[in-house]
A and B are shown apart, each in its own frame.
Chain A
Amino acid sequence: KNEVEQSPQNLTAQEGEFITINCSYSVGISALHWLQQHPGGGIVSLFMLSSGKKKHGRLIATINIQEKHSSLHITASHPRDSAVYICAVGRGGNKLVFGAGTILRVKS
């Protein structure tokens, strides 16, 4: 079993829909990261969190440490949100363990 599991693997949504991507992990962590990767593009950090909730524009990330679970929400989704969303957990220091990613396609 992978240390970091994401669901769903693939997600197609209509423009305007509310989107949730889930991340579950099986190890103790220092922080959880959500990353975004556009097709053919590099990887950018969206959030780092170790507790509670963070919001940036239409993106919201939450984490439940007791349940070892995090969610990334996108409100009022737009085709430009189409990307791969990656969950990664920090194990102390700089080392990260990555989920396989969720491929999101938002149709107009």
Chain B
Amino acid sequence: NAGVTQTPKFQVLKTGQSMTLQCAQDMNHEYMSWYRQDPGMGLRLIHYSVGAGITDQGEVPNGYNVSRSTTEDFPLRLLSAAPSQTSVYFCASGLAGGTYNEQFFGPGTRLTVL
């Protein structure tokens, strides 16, 4: 099993450009989420999904869109990139519900917006 995969690993955008960060998992997990990691701060939840067709906002959703058409894939879209979106982005997946579910993280995408 590949686990959680993310592409690309690195990306440089100009302000105003759009792009999609890809995330896929092969563990049949219902729950998938996107976090951003900034220096000196903990990971912050952007969007999450508890199953195909179901998405919801996290702590910092502005400027990002998501969709979940399949169990395996959970892409994150930046509609009009801003320098404030320069960050490292992590996708994670796990079993949904319950109180004690491990989350599995992808390797991360380092995004720079100029």
Stretch at the interface among B17-25, B60-68, B76-84, B90-98: B90-98
Closest A residue to B39 using CB positions: A100
* Given contacts A4-B42, A86-B43, A96 and B97 within 8 Å (CB-CB): no
B75 within 8 A of A: no
Chain B: interface residue count, which band?
A: 20 to 34
In the bound complex, residues from chain A placing their C-beta under 8 Å from that of B101 are: 90, 94
The contact of A50 among B31, B58, B100, by CB within 8 Å, is: B100
In the bound complex, residues from chain B placing their C-beta under 8 Å from that of A57 are: none
B1 within 8 A of A: no
**Contacting pair B41 A43 (CB below 8 A):** no
**Contacting pair A90 B42 (CB below 8 A):** no
**Contacting pair B108 A101 (CB below 8 A):** no
**Contacting pair A94 B96 (CB below 8 A):** yes
B40 within 8 A of A: yes
Q: Interface residue count for A (Cβ, 8 Å)? A: 26
Closest Cβ–Cβ distance, residue A43 to chain B (whole Å): 4
In the bound complex, residues from chain A placing their C-beta under 8 Å from that of B40 are: 100
A97 within 8 A of B: yes
**Contacting pair B33 A42 (CB below 8 A):** no
In the bound complex, residues from chain A placing their C-beta under 8 Å from that of B35 are: 98
Closest Cβ–Cβ distance, residue B109 to chain A (whole Å): 11
Q: Which 7 A-B pairs have the closest CB atoms?
A: A98-B42, A30-B99, A43-B105, A42-B107, A98-B43, A94-B31, A31-B100
